[in-house]
A and B are shown apart, each in its own frame.
Chain A
């Protein structure tokens, strides 16, 4: 029975082993203190058991030295845990810039995943091994959570906001992902598989996967035309998008914000909330006209514009 009785999930990402080492260290400390207390209690309970009703135990008030010792030594151990855990956490908080992007939309009770290169998946995520993958996630309804135990990654997926996590898989194979924030009736069924494939297999999968072969940015370009955005944003009546993504933007209120995913999303849904300095409040809202998926496509399109310019050698 004990063969194949796992104590930990697969270590299938670059960070998994490091996290496990920290976990083992903390487990050792936990076992040490638990054993220490249990055995000391047991030992004292036996050694000092009541032998007669006339027992006269000594009147010990305490010992400041001991109190200091058993405050400072554990504090030191806690300090080690804090620093180790925090540095791991920090190191892994920023996705590498060359990460492959996948857009994730959670909704009751399924996952839509769309690769930047185009293919759409439902409750499955195919990725190549050895490449960093960045997931940009939002929800269409309630709070969900994307959790891949084998990669040791997890983050809440919140409606109205974008959160990103990243991982780099180290082993091919098939790994669970789960929704890890209670979201209603079929929360437990909102699960799927990550398929980590070799580069070759992944390329093959890519060519067979996407129905239209359109990348997310290309879908966004199509929407951009369809919804008529070009009428203003292509003619100077509204701010241009070339090189906009990631840059600071000055608003009419005097505030400066960064043109990230959240800003772009808000500009489409609540255009009068943040108006660029020098422009008027004439953009209509597209709330109800664009789905979460459409929003991600438009954002991907806008992001791609700067890149093209840069790739074309423009300063």
Chain B
């Protein structure tokens, strides 16, 4: 095996169990892909359950979907896709050794991620709470919402189940985003300390993979939760 001459920083970056940075890089990459596979299976269980009940409680799920505002969902989708762009640009910057650009892009990604979470919390979830639409906690649809559900012949327990999937799946997704944002804070701190070199942009690349995965999950969630009721204007 050919010995490479490494810069001091890179030598320090080589973990003892690996023979060289290339092996370490490949191992981390494979590791991240495997981790993402486990995440697919984890979310997959929820998607499977959702699919079963979507089929069984067709009308109720559509009525439930109309309780959500697809415009917030669409905006959030755009925000998240942009954040994947900034993340990809950050990975690119790391690969080229551009420290300042990397930090800027990481911060932009975080801001967009926080915007996503902020929209969810302040516009969607707090509204749902105010309207008594949170299953298990304060589920008691009333007034106009209640009559609209009744018009749609949607039995309330089934709509509650839809809302459970909504909160459960977007909540699990949000949790993953919080973890991702936390990751990014750590990366910013390390980047400022000069830890990432063109020889070892690995942690940035892997975090990029993770972030893109979180984005893709949302791209599946958005239509399944927001769009199945059609685009009729909701409250």
Using a CB–CB cutoff of 8 Å, the interface residues on chain A facing chain B are 253, 270, 272-273, 275, 281
Contacts and interface: CB of A to CB of B under 8 A. Distances in A.
Contacts of A253: 58-59
Contacts, number: 13
A270 B153 contact: no
B155 interface: yes
Nearest to A273: B155
A152 to B, nearest CB: 32
Interface in B54-71: 57-59
Nearest to B56: A273
A270 B59 CA distance: 13
Contacts of A281: 153
Contacts of A270: 155
Contacts of A273: 57, 59, 153, 155, 158
A272 B155 contact: yes
A275 B153 contact: yes
| Interface of A, helix, strand, loop or mixed by DSSP | loop
Interface in B68-120: none
| Interface of B, helix, strand, loop or mixed by DSSP | loop
9 closest cross-chain pairs (CB), A and B: A272-B153, A281-B153, A270-B155, A272-B155, A273-B155, A275-B153, A253-B58, A253-B59, A272-B154
A270 B58 CA distance: 14
7 contacts: A253-B59, A270-B155, A272-B154, A273-B57, A273-B59, A273-B158, A275-B153
Interface of B: 57-59, 153-155, 158
Contacts of B154: 272
A217 B206 CA distance: 67
A282 to B, nearest CB: 11
A270 B57 CA distance: 11
A253 B152 CA distance: 12
Nearest to A272: B153
Contacts of B155: 270, 272-273
A272 B59 CA distance: 10
B23 to A, nearest CB: 32
Nearest to A255: B58
A253 B153 CA distance: 11
A270 to B, nearest CB: 6
A272 B60 CA distance: 10
A38 B107 CA distance: 67
Contacts of B58: 253
B147 to A, nearest CB: 13
A198 B158 CA distance: 49
A272 B57 CA distance: 11
Identify which of A270, A272, A275, A281 gathers the most chain B CB atoms within 10 Å of its CB. A272
B215 to A, nearest CB: 35
A17 B57 CA distance: 44
Contacts of A272: 153-155
A262 to B, nearest CB: 12
Contacts of B57: 273
A270 B157 CA distance: 10
A230 to B, nearest CB: 24
Given A253-B58, A272-B153, A272-B155, 10 more contacts: A253-B59, A270-B155, A272-B154, A273-B57, A273-B59, A273-B153, A273-B155, A273-B158, A275-B153, A281-B153
Contacts of B59: 253, 273
B61 to A, nearest CB: 12
A114 B153 CA distance: 35
A253 B58 CA distance: 10
Identify which of B57, B58, B155 gathers the most chain A CB atoms within 10 Å of its CB. B155
